Structure 1
Amino acid sequence: MKYLAPCLALALLATPAMAQSLGEKTGINATLGISPATEDFVKQAAVSDMFEIQSSQLAQERGDAADKSFAATMIKDHEKTTSDLKAMVSSGDLKVALPTELDSTHQSKIDKLKSLNGGDFSARYQLDQVSGHKDAVSLFERYAKGGDHPKLKEWADKMLPTLRHHQQMAQDLSTGKTVGKH
Structure 2
Amino acid sequence: MKHIRFGLGAVAAALCMATGASAQGLQKPDVAFLKQAAQNGHAEVESSKIAQTKSRNPQVKAFAAQMVEDHTKVNDELKALAASKGVELPNEPSAMQKGKTKVLGAMDGERFDKRYADEMGVDAHEDTIKLFNKAATEAKDPEVKAFAAKTLPALQHHLKQAQDLNAAVKAGKGEGAASRP
The answer to whether the superposition gives a TM-score over 0.5 is: yes
- Specify the structure having the higher radius of gyration (Cα): 2
1:103 aligns with 2:83: no
Task: Pick one of 140, 143, 150 that aligns with 2:142.
Answer: 150
CA distance in 1 between counterparts of 2:98 and 2:19 reads 28
CA distance in 2 between counterparts of 1:136 and 1:106 reads 13
Q: How big is the alpha-carbon RMSD for the aligned residues of Structure 1 and Structure 2? A: 2.3
CA distance in 2 between counterparts of 1:51 and 1:127 reads 14
Q: CA deviation at 1:59?
A: 0.5
| Percent identity of paired positions between Structure 1 and Structure 2 | 34
Q: Residues 1-182 of structure 1: matches in 2 within 5 Å? A: 17=20, 37-63=29-55, 64-90=57-83, 92=84, 94-128=85-119, 129-176=121-168
In the TM superposition, structure 1's runs of 4+ consecutive aligned residues that sit over 2 Å from their partners are none
Q: Normalising by structure 2, what TM-score?
A: 0.75
The AA in structure 2 aligned to 1:122 is: D
- Tell me the residue number matched to 2:4: none
Q: What are the ranges of 5 or more consecutive residues in structure 1 without an aligned counterpart? A: 1-14, 18-35
Q: Normalising by structure 1, what TM-score?
A: 0.75
The AA in structure 1 aligned to 2:50 is: L
Q: CA deviation at 1:54?
A: 0.5
Aligned residues: 147
